[in-house]
Chain A
Amino acid sequence: MKCKWGIMILMVLVLMFSLSFTAFAQLPGGIPREETMIADQLTGRVGMPDNFNLWAGWRNQDRGLQQLLLEPLWTVDYATGEIISGSAAEPPEYSEDLMQMTIHLREGVDWNDGVPFTADDVAFTIELHVDTPGLLYHGPMAEFVESVTVVDEHTVTVNLTRPSSRFHAHFLDRWGCLRIMPKHIFEDVEDVMAFKYNPPVGTGAYRLLDYDPAGFWTLWERREDWDRSPTGILYGEPQPQYVLFQWFESEEGKILAQLRNELDMAQHTEEGLRVILDRSDTARAWRRDWPWVVNIDPCITGILLNNMVEPYDNKDVRWALTLAIDIVDYAAIATDLMAPVSPLHLPPVPAYLEHFFLPMEDWLKEFEIDIGNGEMFKPYDPDVSQRILAEAEERGYPIPDDPDIILEQFGMGWWKYAPDVAAQLLENNGFSRNAEGNWLLPDGSPWKIDIVSDPPVAHHHMKNALAAAEQWRNFGIDATVYATEAYNDLTMMGDYSVSTTWPAAEPWGAGVDLIRTFDVWHSRNLTPIGETVAIGPGGAARWSDPRMDEIIEAMEVTDPIAEEEKTIELGIEALKLVIEEMPTIATYGYTGPIAYDEAYWTNWPGAENPYSQPYQHWPNLKYMLPFLEKAE
């Protein structure tokens, strides 16, 4: 009997040994780890791993399609504030009447199957989109394109149906744009919607090597002729020979992989990032010290109000809710003080700090709201960052003393915590308090706010919701968080009062053009409750103003490249109007908890050297790879 048990134990040990031996073969096909950069795939397991046709629908483009395979005409980089001309040789050129846009293409670019990239590819892409309903960019191409003229091998002119100074924006990559198709592949395709585009052909410096049929990973190999890609021409040889994008179903698995040096670049939750930095000798974050996280993200977080629902259709109520927030306490609850606060409906990225935040500071200090009875109140508090610093110091965090770093890390200022003023605004509008001090609506019923939010607690939607609920409860409003998977449907259909879905549409993050943020508030996009807003973030606030229409229409006929000053002026005008009306409440800039592992690759971008945007899932990763260095 004992002998049998002994044999069984021996067999288990042999099995464990053989499995541990094979454990060293971690990468597909035995590719060398030291030549491979491994990144976490943000958007989940790929549903249809053999389909790369991202023109026809959602294809998890962050599996390498947008970072390594395809090179757009232009790309936004919010870290440097630059707009990078990739497949294009220079910025677009508009005719004086804005009826034509000319694209000059970069010379010396080939598709990865050796066919030259030319103006024919651009013309074919646009024409195919005009003719094919169902393609993602069919709408704007059909609306704006009259015809396309190939001027020469590297020049294309698009003739527009009506004047537009921003037609090029459809080709400007900011986590998505209309990328140029290889004509020699697509011209023979009968059903472009069903075409799988496998193997995919691109002008990027990498080509597809392999992928997991279950959708967990995608592997790319550097092209031998990488110098025929825009990235190679612009920045030189991308350093990793292979790039692997891998999806982890659980945060724990991702953390363990990075602790085992099997993941070079990953976005975690803030809690996950702290574990990585605490346990790993080779990991670093965007900042080497607290607050670690990326705080130049081009998204603004905050509170979305439904301006078609009472009492949020009242400007005084919206301002009262704003002034009932103690932003230092709010930031402590939501982000442990790690995010930059923002009074503007813009994220405080470097380009916007320069062009909008700092130029508007004096106006903000003098800005007044009418609080009734002829009284005016200056709501702006320029000392918020100092209060955040004091709180951070109390919590034992290392705090900077350089004003530029303070501005970048904690923001410029926010609105005063003025519950008395908030109360006055409400009382002016017929609100009252009951014996317990809780607020009642003008009809005498209790004021209850259900804040609709995305359920994951690590998401800034939920963090904002929890902080807002706490602030408003302290003020005497019965505020609770309603976390639901249906949050997106509810906000888009207008079936909500207050939500923490993005308070404004994401801007470009670079340059001076803010039309992307404000266009959703043009009255032509105003959508009644019960109908879906076409543009989700910001537009779901269902707010418009004739003054905003005028500004947007002026923006539309202003060339943001040739008329930069005028574009900035219009942007500031729009920002002032939004502050005055406060249709939504911007709170703080999105923070990204990214961790880099320096075991195999170094010279990652960081706050001390922000040569590139920091994320693995952004298209700009391609422009980071030439700067990586192999670890010693």
Chain B
Amino acid sequence: MRFVKEYLVPRLIQYFAVIFCGITAVFLIPRFTGQDPILGVIAEIQAQGSSLDASAVRSLMESLRELYGLEGTLFEQYVAMWQRVIAFDFGPSFFQFPTPVADLLRIYLPWTIGLFVTTTVLAWALGNVIGGIAGYFSHKRWSKVFDAVVMVVRPVPHYIFGILVLILFAYVWQIFPVGGIMLGRSTVFNLNFILTIIRHSFLPALTLLILGGAIWFQQMKLLVQNVKREDFVQYAHTGGVKETRIIPRYVLRNAMLPQITQLTLALGQVFSGVLIVEMVFSYPGMGLLLYRAVTRNDYNLVMGITVLSILTITTAVLIMDLLYPLFDPRIRHR
């Protein structure tokens, strides 16, 4: 009972408060930027010199305002927004009207999950394992060399690294494509499909893996260097416990705790996508979808993506909070 009152309830209150504030902020911020989604659509039509005269534009603006549900006061729109959020219906995308936001998410989310989740988990695993071992054997020559290489790679921006990889593997050695994925609308799941996906995802995945892995490597190396000096590790050494047991059980396990939290938070970013990498490699994903939604003030689409993002991250954090005592006995609730 004390667990529920002192541990669970405060966290649940915090959970719902964060969701409420987050969603309210997402509703308000685009509306306070001064940009009008209707004007965005008109501008897009006119940008290329499309010939619509004044009467056509006026009539179109009126129709769009009605169709987009932008009539009524801010409060009325706010209430309507909560009704939609609760029903999990974000309405149509303004810019891609009348396509429902849910359809857009259904198209782009699998691409981002495929690339982002795979590379994040792989980078996390490789970075932590290699970083952990390099941290434990930090006095060795190979560890120092590895550290120096990572030190050079890690600060390279995704854009520069991506272009570098693209030039190397798509221009100098032309084995990977530079454009979009050439699978049509009636895609069949076969070997060609798998190879095409891998071929198009290889370079963006490589970029994310190396740059992401470098960060995990450095973090883990530093954590392990600290943990290995702890008394209990020294005691295990003195007690004659074998190194093959000390590294995974005594050192890595303890150093892993903050990394697990960070992995959860990192995975929660899936809805934001990996904008820069998607741009460099013309990869279909959530990053570009969100970017376009923001720049064109597509309120519904911004809302759809960010609500999912807020829910995912806050839920992940809540679950982590609740499960953390299982990983770390020191904070186990009594």
Chain A residues with CB under 8 Å of chain B are 16, 18-20, 22-23, 25-29, 42-45, 47-51, 57-58, 62, 133-134, 136-140, 142-143, 169-170, 172, 174-177, 193-194, 210-217, 219, 246-250, 252-253, 256-257, 259-260, 262, 298-299, 485-486, 488-490, 492-493, 495, 506, 516, 519-520, 525, 532, 534-537, 539, 617
Contacts and interface: CB of A to CB of B under 8 A. Distances in A.
Q: Please name the 3 residue pairs, one residue from A and one from B, whose CB atoms are nearest each other, closest first.
A: A216-B180, A176-B50, A47-B96
B70 to A, nearest CB: 13
A194 B179 CA distance: 31
Interface string B47-70: 011111111111111010001000
Nearest to A194: B98
A210 B184 contact: yes
A136 B56 contact: yes
A57 B63 CA distance: 11
A588 to B, nearest CB: 17
Interface residues of B, number: 73
Contact of B98 (A28, A138, A193, A537): A193
Contacts of A249: 278-283, 288
Interface stretch (B4-12, B18-26, B37-45, B219-227): B37-45
B202 to A, nearest CB: 7
A175 B288 contact: no
B55 to A, nearest CB: 4
Contacts, number: 218
A525 B56 CA distance: 13
A213 B167 CA distance: 27
A259 B171 contact: yes
B58 A139 contact: yes
A268 to B, nearest CB: 14
A49 B107 CA distance: 11
Interface stretch (B146-154, B193-201, B249-257, B305-313): B193-201
A248 B39 contact: no
Contacts of A489: 34-36, 39-40
A361 B15 CA distance: 73
A256 B183 CA distance: 21
16 contacts: A18-B195, A51-B99, A62-B48, A138-B59, A139-B57, A193-B67, A212-B181, A214-B108, A214-B180, A216-B181, A216-B284, A253-B280, A253-B281, A486-B34, A532-B61, A536-B42
Nearest to A253: B178
Contacts of B46: 535-537
Given A29-B184, A134-B63, A143-B55, 14 more contacts: A19-B176, A22-B199, A47-B96, A47-B292, A58-B44, A136-B60, A139-B56, A169-B51, A174-B49, A176-B50, A212-B185, A247-B180, A516-B51, A537-B46
A252 B282 contact: no
B105 interface: no
A246 to B, nearest CB: 6
Contacts of B196: 22, 25
Nearest to A132: B63
Nearest to B191: A22
A57 B92 CA distance: 13
Interface string B74-98: 0000000000000000000101111
Interface in B135-174: 163, 166-167, 170-171, 174
Given A22-B199, A48-B99, A176-B49, A212 B44 contact: no
B50 A253 contact: no
A250 B282 contact: yes
Contacts of A219: 184
B166 A253 contact: yes
B93 A47 contact: yes
A196 B34 CA distance: 32
Max chain B C-beta neighbours (<10 A), residue from A137, A249, A486: A249
A100 to B, nearest CB: 20
Contacts of A138: 56, 59-60, 63
B238 interface: no
A301 to B, nearest CB: 13
Interface in B174-219: 174-187, 192, 195-196, 198-199, 202
B111 interface: yes
A19 B295 contact: no
A617 B195 CA distance: 32
Contacts of A177: 51
Contacts of A28: 182-184
A539 B198 CA distance: 50
Contacts of A45: 284, 288
B241 to A, nearest CB: 24
Given A22-B199, A256-B170, A492-B39, A176 B45 contact: yes
B96 A247 contact: no
A539 B175 CA distance: 51
A25 B191 CA distance: 13
A23 B174 contact: yes
A57 B99 CA distance: 12
A213 B107 contact: yes
A593 to B, nearest CB: 16
B198 A210 contact: no
Nearest to A507: B49
A414 to B, nearest CB: 24
Contacts of B178: 248, 253, 256-257, 260, 262
B52 A250 contact: no
B73 interface: no
Contacts of B42: 492, 536
Given A210-B184, A489-B35, A248 B179 contact: yes
B180 A140 contact: no
A246 B179 contact: yes
B48 A176 contact: yes
Contacts of A217: 179-180, 182
B33 interface: yes
A19 B175 CA distance: 7
B202 A176 contact: no
Contacts of B288: 45, 249
Max chain A C-beta neighbours (<10 A), residue from B50, B174, B198: B50
Contacts of B198: 19
Given A216-B179, A216-B181, A247 B171 contact: no
A252 B280 contact: yes
A193 B166 CA distance: 42
Given A58-B41, A216-B282, A256-B166, A26 B59 contact: no
A8 to B, nearest CB: 13
B100 to A, nearest CB: 10
